[in-house]
Structure 1
Amino acid sequence: MYHTAGLTRGRVEELCALIGEATGESVRRWPPVLGLSRSVVVTLAYLRRNRVQAELAETFEVSQSTISRAIAAVTPLLADILEHRIPTADDLDDRSSHMVDGTLLPCWSWSSRPELFSGKHRTTGFNVQVVCTLDGRLRWVSDPMPGARNDIVGLKASRILDGRDPSTWLGDKGYIGSGILTPIRKPRNREQPDWEKEFNRHHNSIRVVVERAIACLKTWRILHTDYRRPIDTFADAISAVVGLYFYAAE
């Protein structure tokens, strides 16, 4: 169960109970042929592995349209019931230092959404800002923004630094000018002295843990490989996965 859905059987059963309590007897949006439990497993397998729906249909011996209906029904339910488990900006401990980085959550290219194209990554998707502690524990994930926005724009839009002293935070060169401690940029008219190079090496060796935190979040492959469902459903998928990440870590 864990390798298929990313959760133990007990945690999956707990999720089913939470969904059942939240929806009540009168609302059953998942396909009857699958039922709630199998619909949840289907959706978790899709989010965890980004499996093709036709492949899931063969595995669960139903039609592809049934798999699609299950994912469409359960994903927003997961986002809703897990929302309160996701840390907010107010939950950050201001007595501690943090590291921040941005990452692109890729999706298919829609000609009607050119703002999703990231020049840095040369593909389309949504940008999120991620904050972790110095030992790599994920503490906050921003709302998604169009991929054309760079990291410092996304950080300012999230307002995560409002009322905070950013001088104790670490980030890469994409955050130069934000007050966050960043590597020293090499000027065009001179070589960097050895102390600047050493500072940058030391800074990068510390900051690598935020990249590992992002990699752990993206073990939910729906955030790592192209999102193929309608673009207006991606926000729910992102919220559901972030909620599942913190739910699994409890």
Structure 2
Amino acid sequence: MVGNASRAAIINDRKITGLSADVIAELVAELGPLWLDRHEARLAARQRKRAIGAGAKHRLVFVDRLLATLVHLRHAVTHDVLACWFGVDRSTITRAIAEVRPLLAERGCTISPNVRLRTLAEVVDHLGASGKTGIIDGTEIRVRRPAAGRKDRDKFISGKSKQNAVKTVVLTDGDGRVLFCSPAQHGSCADNTHARQLGLVRLLDGGPALAILADAGCQGLGAQTGGRVVTPPHRKFKKNAPDWYEEMHERQRKARSSRRIRVEHGIAHLKNWRALARHLGRREHLSDMVQAVAGLLSHQQTADLTSAQQM
């Protein structure tokens, strides 16, 4: 395990974990008891020959387990390297990350010190109550090609990038703060189909009055949600368009892009966590990874905003 000096260096250097020391302290205080409860429940769930707590003690305390998970998500560091760094076996790191990652994914996105959004329904209610505009977009994460002969192998091929990928839907507010990140879906799924599967149409149809900006990949959702999803209009002239129409179309396109660029910034902040830039591990872990990173990023954004307002 790492020494106190090395642990302090990891916590105090934001470039290593992507989080400030105050945010890491809050994570330890919040997740430590949850991890301990789940660990003890797992031990008590089976018949035992020895009492709980007997035998060898943990060489990797919870703080180190959390730090290893953060470094893995931030820099996509392999488990072998982390094992050397923390002075434990590779299997210990793998088990630690598998235990901490779901805890991070379940936290949701932080929009204020005491408010978190965990579901799309909560995000819609928040936007409706606050009167803010939401911005939605899909993003892809490259993954390894599934093994030959595997069922539904071709579903991971993205029609957009022509590569094996999974897709997630990101929803931010007008300032680019991440409010929601969906579980990962196979890369061949269209953006509007993914949004429907998440229940966006059901939540907006007859729901609170709000506007969610989307790109052309969500065409059709506007009519199904009473105009609450705003998508670019279809081109009236595909060939030989008049000059006045081209001018108007270009002006409208730039105006929409300048408003929607915030969600692209939010996605870029997510992709700064290298585990989401390209994933080389198991695809079934990606949903937890995406939602864990979204929760961590939103927590740090809220902490930075609160600190700036207090200055």
Match of 2:191 among 151, 161, 170: 151
Contact 2:211–2:230 under 8 Å retained in 1: yes
More divergent stretch after superposition (58-67 vs 48-57): 58-67
RMSD over equivalenced CA pairs, Å: 2.7
Deviations 1:48-93 (A, max 9, x none): 111122222332233333322221222123224x148344333332
Q: Distance in 2 between matches of 1:10 and 1:203?
A: 37
Is the aligned partner of 1:98 residue 2:134?
yes
More divergent stretch after superposition (33-42 vs 130-139): 130-139
TM-score by length of 1: 0.85
Q: AA paired with 2:259?
A: I
Is the aligned partner of 1:188 residue 2:188?
no
Is the aligned partner of 1:50 residue 2:76?
yes
Please give the secondary structure, in 2, of the residue aligned with 1:143.
Answer: coil
Q: AA paired with 1:198?
A: R
Indicate the residue corresponding to 1:76 in structure 2: 102
Match of 2:221 among 175, 178, 188: 178
Please give the secondary structure, in 1, of the residue aligned with 2:39.
Answer: coil
Gaps of 5+ in 1: none
Please give the secondary structure, in 2, of the residue aligned with 1:7.
Answer: coil
Indicate the residue corresponding to 1:22 in structure 2: 34
TM-score by length of 2: 0.70
Please give the secondary structure, in 1, of the residue aligned with 2:170.
Answer: strand
Please give the secondary structure, in 2, of the residue aligned with 1:121.
Answer: coil
Please give the secondary structure, in 2, of the residue aligned with 1:193.
Answer: helix
Contact 2:178–2:294 under 8 Å retained in 1: no
Contact 1:167–1:181 under 8 Å retained in 2: no
Q: Distance in 2 between matches of 1:197 and 1:39?
A: 51
Indicate the residue corresponding to 2:260 in structure 1: 207
Match of 1:13 among 8, 25, 36: 25
**C-alpha deviation, 1:215, in angstroms:** 0.8
Deviations 1:142-176 (A, max 9, x none): 23222110111111212224324898332222122
**C-alpha deviation, 1:126, in angstroms:** 2.3
Is the aligned partner of 1:221 residue 2:252?
no
Is the alpha carbon distance of 1:197 and 1:173 closer, same or farther for their aligned partners in structure 2, counting shifts above 3 Å?
A: same
Is the aligned partner of 1:244 residue 2:296?
yes
**C-alpha deviation, 1:177, in angstroms:** 2.2
Contact 1:173–1:183 under 8 Å retained in 2: yes
Q: Distance in 1 between matches of 2:211 and 2:300?
A: 29
Is the alpha carbon distance of 1:166 and 1:154 closer, same or farther for their aligned partners in structure 2, counting shifts above 3 Å?
A: farther
Q: Distance in 1 between matches of 2:59 and 2:269?
A: 34
More divergent stretch after superposition (211-220 vs 182-191): 182-191
Gaps of 5+ in 2: 1-10, 43-56, 110-115, 223-228, 303-311
Q: Distance in 2 between matches of 1:166 and 1:159?
A: 17
**C-alpha deviation, 1:26, in angstroms:** 7.8
Return the index of the structure with the highest Cα Rg. 2
Q: Distance in 2 between matches of 1:129 and 1:25?
A: 32
Contact 2:181–2:291 under 8 Å retained in 1: no
Q: AA paired with 1:202?
A: A
**C-alpha deviation, 1:10, in angstroms:** 3.4
Q: AA paired with 2:211?
A: T
Contact 2:16–2:74 under 8 Å retained in 1: yes
Match of 1:39 among 45, 65, 72: 65
